[in-house]
Amino acid sequence: MRAVADERGVLSALERTFTLRWQDTLVDACGPDLLAKVRAEAPGVQLRFVAETSTDTPEMRRGEVDLESNANEPASPEIRSQRVAEARLAFAVRAGHRLTRGRLTPERFATEADHIVVSRRGRMRDPLDELLAGMDLKRRVVMTAPTVSTALRFLPGSDLAVVIPEPTAREAGAELGLVVLPLPIDIPLVPLYLSWHQRYDNDRAHIWLRGLARDALRRVDPSWAARRSH
């Protein structure tokens, strides 16, 4: 009990700013929960969320970013990472879109909508296009968007479609009046990683924040921990 009290005392006196570079939908879906928990345990702590960039940058190595979260496992050995969740992909369209009617097939998905690709690097193709090519199919990509939230704003009033993680699609779809449909293609689950520089491995405040961030990010896939325990 004394150790718990000591830990609470340290946190209540902690004054520190942490910089987090998270994919935009993760900030929307999980950021408020994380901030609430941080404020409850360490009111002197500030969170600085920064946007992802279009190129790989060395901010974590330079100590300018404390925690990163997205679908990419770091390649550098000095960057630690933990796989904290995974999500199924789905696609969103406006209500009344022709893809919401009738049996959905890979061919209909590819040909009966114009597509937006979410890419912070502006890439017009992603792994889904490789899977479609293996079926002799090709979708019409008409634009890229740097973030999921930007892409979703193009859907109401258009015949566009965008493929994004299902939890994000459902949350945003309810807000924008969109319909979320399962992909008619077998595609691997999208992983979600929490990453940090090795210099913080034994930093007690950083370890505390990582724990809260991990719990918050699992809102994306609440069943992850249960599946990992089996």
Q: Which fold has domain 2-86+190-228?
A: D-Maltodextrin-Binding Protein; domain 2 (3.40.190)
Cβ neighbors of 160 (< 8 A, separation 6 or more) are 93, 113, 114, 115, 116, 142, 154
Q: What is the pLDDT of residues 118-175, one digit of tens each?
A: 998 899 999 999 999 999 999 999 999 998 889 999 999 899 999 988 887 777 777 8
Pairwise CA distance, residues 73 & 70, whole Å = 8
Q: What is the pLDDT of residues 30-78, one digit of tens each?
A: 999 999 999 999 999 999 999 887 666 688 889 999 999 988 888 889 9
Portions of the chain given CATH number 3.40.190.10: 2-86+190-228, 89-182
Helix (H) or strand (E) holding 122: none
* Statement: 89-182 belongs to CATH 3.30.479.10: no
Closest CA to 215 of 31, 25, 13: 31
Pairwise CA distance, residues 11 & 193, whole Å = 25
